[in-house]
Structure 1
């Protein structure tokens, strides 16, 4: 009797973290009022702090502005949004704050990041057996097959459990001196972790004496 092993599949969960846009802090070192968001200012310095999972060069490239550029506060807000989008694309969770220091017509910027700790990898989701059936068995009763096997509807199913039941069915057929083949067939009717198992039995007819 030949038996074929069934390879069950695993389902993995994935959580995608995003980098939410957070507060902007402005420190005005001069006595003048804070300029309007559309007033051009010279960008004196750009610094990045707190990043561990995303390279500083990548953050600065996404931010898009460098020392010496003429920018407005609205431009810097858009740059901050691009950094946030970069973190989202990398699936790295973080909180992002932008600190600005204004002196006259010059502005210095620091991007302060607080990245989330790495989440533990998600393990495989257990497969649940919704139904188990035997088809094609005539010389060995379904009741005998059920008594010999352990997989039951509502319980878990795995390669180890399946292999154990395969061996039990093989031993039962050998004990009854019945030849044939048994092929397990599995389906995922709901496309989730719930499965249906059918033992497809092909018993060989006994040869008639001449």
Structure 2
């Protein structure tokens, strides 16, 4: 198995960000009379502020009401809830404030958003080495191979560490004037992140020039 194939298993997994949502409503009145939640009002304007990760057009579509529409305060609360659901569906966390300015039978709406930063991508789970074995070595002892290499049971394993150990084995064989090929084979007995590594060595009479 190649170095690249060994680590392929560690790069599986998808991080799903869970969006949080908090919504509030604030109302300003030009007059003392406060309309009941079910009293129709003329929607004068809808503004969106603070969004960057979700387009304004999508927010307005989810809100569902436009200037000139007849709405109640209950309708506007429902529109605010739909905006929160839109953010949840996009896996973007946010706090939302809906500000209403009511003057007579008209209402102006401002949707103020504070989006959360994007979540960091998921990191692949580390591979753990359960065992290292050497097979086929007759002219170079296992003790010498273990002394030359760094990978140990219980420690992490990666392409970089494998490459370093392969170079160390090649250098050891060259110093002993013994040629050979050295192929790492990795298995996953428990079908998880635990690896058994076997170095398959095919020795030659002497090192190649």
Q: Residue in 1 aligned with 2:17?
A: 16
Q: Residue in 2 aligned with 1:49?
A: 49
Q: How far is the alpha carbon of 1:166 from its aligned partner?
A: 0.6
Contact 2:15 2:122 in 1 (8 A): no
1:115 and 1:160 map into 2 onto residues whose CA distance is 39
Q: How does 1:136-155 map to 2 (within 5 A)?
A: 136-139=135-138, 140-155=140-155
TM-score by length of 1: 0.76
TM-score by length of 2: 0.76
Contact 1:19 1:96 in 2 (8 A): no
Aligned length: 200
1:189 and 1:74 map into 2 onto residues whose CA distance is 60
Q: Residue in 1 aligned with 2:132?
A: 133
Could you say which structure has the higher helix fraction? 2
Q: How does 1:1-210 map to 2 (within 5 A)?
A: 5-7=2-4, 8-9=7-8, 11=11, 14=15, 16=17, 18-36=19-37, 38-118=38-118, 121-122=120-121, 124=123, 127-139=126-138, 140-176=140-176, 180-187=180-187, 194-203=193-202
Q: Runs of 5+ in structure 2 lacking a partner? A: none
Contact 2:129 2:157 in 1 (8 A): no
Q: Runs of 5+ in structure 1 lacking a partner? A: none
More divergent stretch after superposition (177-186 vs 59-68): 177-186
Distance 1:190 1:73, change over 3 A: farther
